[in-house]
Structure 1
Amino acid sequence: MSGPGRALGAATLLAVLAVAGCDTPVAPKLDTSLAPPEAKATAGATFDPPVRFQPTALNIGWPNGSNVLLRKNLAFYGDSKGLTVTDVLTGKTVGVLAPGGAQAAGGGTPLLFREHPSVLVRTSAGERVAAVYPVAVAAAGTSRNRNRLEVVTADATTGKGTGSVVLDAPATPANGADAHDTVRIAGTHGDVVVLVFGASILMKNPETVAVDVITGRTLWRRAGLRAGAVLGDTLLAQTGTKPAFVSGLGVADGGQRWKALQVPSGSFTITAAGPDAAAVAVSDHATGKRSAGFLDSAGRLTGRISATRVGDCHYDEQAITVCSLDGDEVAGFDAATGRELWRLPTADRLAPRVTFAWHGAVYGRVKSDAVVLDARTGADREAEAGIDPIAVNEYGGVSNVPQFHPAAG
């Protein structure tokens, strides 16, 4: 099962989406003046996986930014100023890759887009890290002011900038907000990054765009389509409302491949849950019933989830996916089969608030204690981890401050 299945509906074929114009990649600015505070700790020994973290910490960005992506010795952290790259072994800032355009103002901007999450893109030119930013294009001649989006990329090995791609924001703002306010990266495949505007099911006027970060071309875009997750070369998204389906679309061209989980009237929450599975929560508006399960890239139901709502899912990059369910439960699933392996809380155990999973370990917090569980069994593995990290690799973990804490065991 892959990250963020089912009774199948009859498949119909949508017209292949029109290919939009292309944009030439431009090099992002390297602005070292935006570097975070000086280092206070450096990493030492490696552990796979680490279950304890040192109290000393290294600042890797300004507070209230986003998720952190760790690749070997580099931490990639996107905040409102740019994509900060830090070497966690030396404590030095490699640089801050700022978008080339002036950033668009956004009073009341939803948290999701203030965060600028960093996403790994395995391109034909090597591994890249991408983050997306709103930029404002000033009026010129008879042209009005307009909002655009800039996808900034960096080399995942060196942290150096590799360019950026600028594309138009949707013509129709999502739910009446500024069009750039609600964008996120739904997933990637090869050179392609899939963006979704109005990602929440509470937002109106969603739009999905696929862009090639190597050539700079916008491959296709479709108004009304809310992308959910990318599994291999297939994008899972809700299509329609009466009836409503989960549809599988080709990442490269937007062409429809299959439909699944038809309901007469309803909505779907689609969450990446591993390399070839998405957790899908179904809300049937006609009956009021809710259900959930795992779908693979072919639209097959690979497992049912005993829950009505699915929150975040964390794939441990080996074999297990851990999902938050119905607000206060946590369960571990076999990522290949969708079979439930364990669930908390129980009569004598509390459920942690899960923050990450990596290589057989599940990280989280129970009340004031940072804990680590065994991903396959759910058993306690470490009761005093030190931090409940939002990113982990063999060198250590990152707290939500954000600070990097070297591994201690």
Structure 2
Amino acid sequence: MESVFNQSADAIFLVNSETLLIAECNQRAVEMFEAGSKDELLDRDGQSLQKQRFTTEEFRVIQEEIDSKGFWSEELEYVTKKGKLFWGNLSAKRIYVGGKNLNLVRVTDISDRKLAEARERQKSQQLKLAIKELKRTQAQLIQTEKMSSLGRMVAGVAHEINNPISFIYGNLIPARRYFQQLVNLIQLYQETYPHPTPEITDSIEDIDLDFLVKDFSKLMDSMQVGADRIRQIVLSLRNFSRLDEKAIKAVDIREGIDNALMILQHRLKPKGAHPEIEVIKNYAPLPLVTCYASQLNEVFMNILTNAIDALELQASRRVISISTSLLAPETAISQLESVEVRIADSGLGMCEAVRKKIFDPFFTTKAVGKGTGLGLAIGYEIVVEKHKGYINCTSIVGQGTEFIVKIPVKLARPA
């Protein structure tokens, strides 16, 4: 028995169950804990060899388990007499020797296994990071190509609309002038010839000349408003089409939001039993922001599109609220001032499990064909990585969702 005790590959201790002092140990214990002799280990508290002692509560639970089951085991980190750290598997059971209650404690050195496990965890983590980076790169490539194609298409549409509307817009002023000249001529004729022939009198009554003169002016005003509206839409389309623009410039963030709203205007209108989506804007005065303007416009477009999607099937309370504010350096995300944009919808909201994944590439809750899961992932990269900003989302099921975007007012230009 003594031979087995001393020849064991594990460190073995006999510990007094009442005092918890080491009563005996084998030679392997002396070697494992780098003691000069057995005397350095005997009559010592066994916990003194551990890197961290058990708390009172932990020790109470251990004692209860040994008393009830007669056995307890755990993996612990130990410290040798020379200060070296190693991992060991401790197993303890109650035995009776010479009428005394003793704890037979066995410590197996598992440092190699722990090291192997740590390496595997590191490899697994590296693999996860590689997969995440691959997904991010894939998402970026897909979104870049998608937005580049969309930008070219939108630019083409804007160009095709701009040509004819320019003709209309450019001819409105001459048309007003020509019409006024004709009216002046008619009035001069009436003054010169106050008694026209019956045929002319009948024709004036048939066309209701006085009404025609008044209404034509209103008609021209209406055409002017329509032409202005179309020109504004063309301008919004042109701004949106510059998605691959790489230059940093100073812009008014609010204009980018308004451009996105202009393009999405058709989706805000009432449909069947669903009322119009109301957009409430609370814009605070803001300085110009030095940024990649077209890329931030893409972020706002994606957030607003998601907000509209969330309200699409809602029969009432279809509201999108947009607010902007200027944050002082102490409350901002950097040592400089930051602009904060909040976009909230009154939709059904989302659960916490979904909210945590919304910025993951290719994650979407939309039906097949309705969403790629790239918009918010790319938006996160644009805001956080390219602009050193902040983007987050809060949501309560049944109450809606809010996105918060913070962008430093000054973005450092690339070297």
Give the TM-score normalised by structure 2: 0.21
Structure number with bigger Rg: 2
Q: Which has the higher helix share?
A: 2
